[in-house]
Amino acid sequence: MERIIRLLAVAMLLNTSCTKEFLDKKPNKSLVVPSSLENFQAILDNSFNVFGVSPFMNQIADGDFYVTENGIPSLANLSRNIYLWQDDIYEGATSTDWNRMYEQVFYANIVLEGLEKIKGNPDQRYIDRLRGTALFCRAYAYYNLAQEFTPPYHAERAASDLGLPLRMSADVNSHPNRASLQDTYQLMIDDLQQAELLLPITVEPKTRPTKAAAWALLARITLSMADYETALHAADKALSFQNDLMDFNTLDTVAASPFPSGRSVYNKEIIYYTDRITNTFFNSANTRVVEDLYDLYDDNDLRKLIFFNNGRFKGSYGGSALFIFTGLATDELYLIRAECYARAGRTAEARDDLTQLMRTRWKKDRIYNVPTDLEDGEVLQMILSERRKELLTRGTRWSDLRRLNQEEMFKTTLKRNYQGVEYLLSPGDTRCVFPIAMDELELGGIEQNPR
């Protein structure tokens, strides 16, 4: 174990260079590929440096937070350019979001290839769990990449829209072209379907995936595809394994960190733990939740006190400003299932799911009920509003905007104002897809996103 830890430390050191794209600077694979199951587990458990993080650019761009006029000049160039939806966001720099997610793909492929070479090992269940974990992690990485670097999924265009370069091996000299968007999403689905068969029902810590995690991620992915029938089935399956909800009345509303703090301490709603890549945009004293979102929280809604302090967000399931939770949890599943029920005309079941969740968020001396006289569309609108409020900072808002902007009744134009100039991001704008950094274009020869 000491040997693999040292090798991984060297690999991590090499990975941190910003001068080239990650996959162009990998050490020789033979130096970092271990041969024992314990070594493969060590790679997959490297959740702090590799697998346990999700992108940050989408959360700067999604319109839920604003920076005061005086704070914008102090932002790093990348953050400011994302915030104002500029055409050139990198100004020659590399993309951390792209690099970190493909780093996850690389290590998942390392494990998958290494496991194929193990012969005669009696612990098949251990091998299966490792393979399932690697497949899950690869699907998660490709999902996060797709939300930022590919167009929103539309079934009629997916076969012709550009997807991602799908790296299916750990060969650093392989530079595949961009697959179709349809093939990109199909790979995620295929990986998760295999992973679900191999993963355990329970496992510790929650940086390791389970069957519930595989179904929960499939629900998130198929929701982003507007495949509501599959998303409903996946959310329902995930909840059959884990359906716990916290009563927010048991939390300290005035605490600086109302939820358990740290990556090794989890609340009972968490199914699979990841957090957002650290970025100074969110740590700035000038960053606040937008007023129109804050005003949506009823005074009887405990989230108004638990999530915010003077307009600053404090309510991460990670328990501190350093660990902003972006993983999978049961509250998201109730909202996915409720939305899918509403879209299928199963309004009573949609109301039940929403009520079950919201009664754990409401002050105990106030009864939360979904009005029974609402039309189906009004119930759906209510669910989507609660989804935005409940999943703040989870990384889902950007995906929701891209998905919902394809429906006339939910189209949203985002607006920023800076130095007397109004900046707009309209539905269907090409800037709803982030550009690929120039170093990756030069390395892989792949096609750039229109901007």
The CATH number assigned to the domain holding 160 equals 1.25.40.390
Tell me whether residue 153 is in a domain: yes
> What was the pLDDT predicted at 375?
84
DSSP helix/strand/coil, 89? coil
Read off the pLDDT of residues 199-242 as tens digits, 9 standing for 90 and up. Answer: 999 999 999 999 999 999 999 999 999 999 999 999 999 999 99
Angle among Cα 223, 324, 416 to the nearest 5 degrees reads 75
- Is 42 a residue whose pLDDT tops 50? yes
Tell me whether residue 299 is in a domain: yes
Q: Which residues pair with 272 in a beta bridge?
A: 328
Tell me whether residue 227 is in a domain: yes
**How far is the C-alpha of 100 from the C-alpha of 55, rounded, in Å?**
8
Read off the pLDDT of residues 361-401 as tens digits, 9 standing for 90 and up. Answer: 999 988 898 888 888 899 999 999 999 999 999 999 999 99
Tell me whether residue 280 is in a domain: yes
Tell me whether residue 422 is in a domain: yes
- Percentage, residues of the chain above pLDDT 70: 92
Q: List the domain range (segments joined by +) for residue 67.
A: 2-444
Q: Residue 311 has what DSSP assignment?
A: T
Q: Are strands 53-54 and 275-276 parallel, antiparallel or unpaired?
A: parallel
> What was the pLDDT predicted at 443?
87
Confidence of residue 28 (pLDDT cuts 50, 70, 90): very low
Mean pLDDT confidence for 280-305: 93
Confidence of residue 14 (pLDDT cuts 50, 70, 90): very low
**How far is the C-alpha of 329 from the C-alpha of 337, rounded, in Å?**
13
Mean pLDDT confidence for 10-29: 40
Q: The tokens 């750990």 sit on which residue?
A: 170
Tell me whether residue 449 is in a domain: no
280-284, 313-317, 382-386, 447-451: range with lowest mean pLDDT: 280-284
46 to 40, 107, 271: CA distances (angstroms): 10, 10, 18
* Structural domain count, the chain: 1
Tell me whether residue 450 is in a domain: no
23-37, 53-67, 265-279, 399-413: range with lowest mean pLDDT: 23-37
Tell me whether residue 410 is in a domain: yes
- Is 10 a residue whose pLDDT tops 50? no
Mean pLDDT confidence for 275-301: 92
Contact assessment for residue 310 and residue 196, using Cβ atoms and an 8 Å cutoff: no
Whole-number mean pLDDT of the chain? 90
> What was the pLDDT predicted at 34?
67
- Is 328 a residue whose pLDDT tops 70? yes
